[in-house]
Each structure stands twice: as C-alpha cells, then as structure tokens.
Amino acid sequence: MYDVNETLENALARNVRDTLREDIGRGDWTALLVPEDRAVQAKVTMKESAVLCGSAWFEGCILALDPSAKITWNESEGATVSAGSVVAEIKSSARALLSAERSALNLLQMLSGVATETRKYVQAIDGVSPNPNGCAVLDTRKTMAGLRQAQKYAVRVGGGKNHRMALWDGILIKENHIAAAGGIAAVLHAAESLNSGVSIQIEVESLAELAEALACGAKNILLDDFSFEDMAKAVSINEGRAILEVSGGVDLNSIRAIAATGVDRISIGKLTKDVRAVDLSMRIISE
C-alpha cells in the first residue's frame, strides 16, 4: 500500500502545497481588493525571544505564489533571536504576499516553537551528565499529522536529535510485542531474523528485564518507568554494552536528574506534541 519513504525535501514541498491549498482553495477573495500589479515590501518581526526555524517553509509558501519575490533574512536558521528583531524583509506582489501570509507564518511560528522548546531541554542538561559521550535529547513519533519531517527537522535545529523517523525507520519492541512474541529472547531473535537493516530497540520495565535483554545481546534499550535510583543502577549493570534511553513523563523539572544518572538518551514527546507557536508578525511597510 505504501511503498515510498518520504524525504525531508518531499515533505517540505507537500507541506507548502497542502497548507496553501487548504487556505486558498479556489481563490482568495480578499486579496482581489488589491490592484493586480501592486508590489509591496514587508517585514517579519519576532515578538518574543525564540529560536528561528522554518525559513525554507516560509519561503516556499511565498515563492509558490510569486516566484519572483525577494526574501532577505536578517537572522540565520537556528539563531536565538531577541524580541523586536526584524528577521526577514520581503519584496513581492501584494496579492501573492497577502494570500501566502497566513500559511507562511503558521509554518514558521510552529517550527520556531519546536526548535525553541527543544533548545530549552538541551540547555537544561548541559554539563550535568557523567556519561563520557554525553546525554542526547530526542524527539518521538508524537508529531502533528502530516508534519513529521518538518517537526523533526526543527528538533535538530534546536540542538536535539531524532528518534526513528517512522515505523519504517526502526524496530521498537514494547511490552505488547514481547508478550505476543513469547518473551524477550524470542522477540529479539525474531527482530534480528528480519535482517531489516534498521535499528532494534527493546523496552524493559525492570532491572531483571534489563539483565535479560543484555544477556540476549540487545544493543539499544528503553527504560520504562524507572526511578532515578534504578536508572543509575541500570547504567552500572549495562557497563556500556547497550545504548540506554529514558522516556515518559520527562519535563524541565526532571530532565537534569535523569541526565545525571548517566543514561545515553532522553526522549521527550512534548517537544513535538505540545507545541506553542512562537509569536511572529508580518507588516507591509511600503509599496
């Protein structure tokens, strides 16, 4: 049924097409109030301190309606921008810019929001991990429908890393898979037998299950609902044999304590699930 693994470039083009189609439909009646040959200049202002992310999506929306538009960025992708900063200046057909405005800003605001939140978590654990390789902040598959690639891109811009992109991008064995397959040893053997070429991760719910997974050769283990004390014990038991990841219930109040146990990765669904868009505005400044 589904035979293509979408790339970021594919997704960007689809996001632009879909958001414009959703908003404009058969036409923008209000934009027709402006003379067809009118050209304008506009500026985009950051109204709060945030990480700028999504410039390609913003440009894509405007250029789709006016291929000759000129967009100048005063701040770079991934920069932390202060409130009041003019991040971009635009010269475009007035009708095209007015029709593209909401779609372009929606994508820029949402992706900047994801990048900004991610950076908060990354900075929260800076220097606290005893792990010689450090501790990475990861996203999950809890993303907005149709915006998976875009949001995971924003996580990277914010300094985080990506968990598997989608079901095709990795095997994650959870408690129901273990129960249905007949146990940890059986399910890990079945996963290896697929010769999929993708990573294999197994979730464990106790130190005993961790020891069993390690004995079966697991190289990537998710610690589910472990206390801080048990996380630290898991790191000691593991002795660097597998990548250890913590997920579930992580927030800015707990992430430093988790990183301090020495685990390798912390995955956080709210980076892409509970998104608060950054406040940006576009204003026409002259003809």
Strand partners, 39: 93
> CA-CA distance, 11 to 253, in Å (whole number)?
34
Specify whether 66 is catalytic. Answer: no
Alpha helices in 78-202 (DSSP H): 94-124, 148-157, 175-181, 184-193
Phi and psi at residue 180, in whole multiples of 5°?
-70, -30
Q: Which of 75, 117, 203, 264 is catalytic?
A: 203
Specify whether 225 is catalytic. Answer: no
Q: Which of 14, 156, 174, 270 is catalytic?
A: 174
Q: Which of 102, 233, 270, 273 is catalytic?
A: 102
Q: Which of 28, 205, 224, 230 is catalytic?
A: 224
Angle formed by the axes of helices 207-215 and 184-193, to 10°?
Answer: 40
Specify whether 224 is catalytic. Answer: yes
Residue corresponding to tokens 């929260």? 124
Specify whether 233 is catalytic. Answer: no
CB 237 within 8 A of CB 210: yes
Nearby residues of 156 by Cβ (< 8 Å), 6 or more positions away: 162
Strand partners, 86: 45
- Alpha carbon 23 to chain centroid distance? 24
* Tokens standing for residue 276: 């608060």
Nearby residues of 137 by Cβ (< 8 Å), 6 or more positions away: 118, 121, 122, 125, 159, 160, 161, 255, 265, 266, 268, 271
Q: Which of 91, 120, 142, 161 is catalytic?
A: 142
Specify whether 164 is catalytic. Answer: no
Catalytic sites, residue numbers: 102, 142, 174, 203, 224
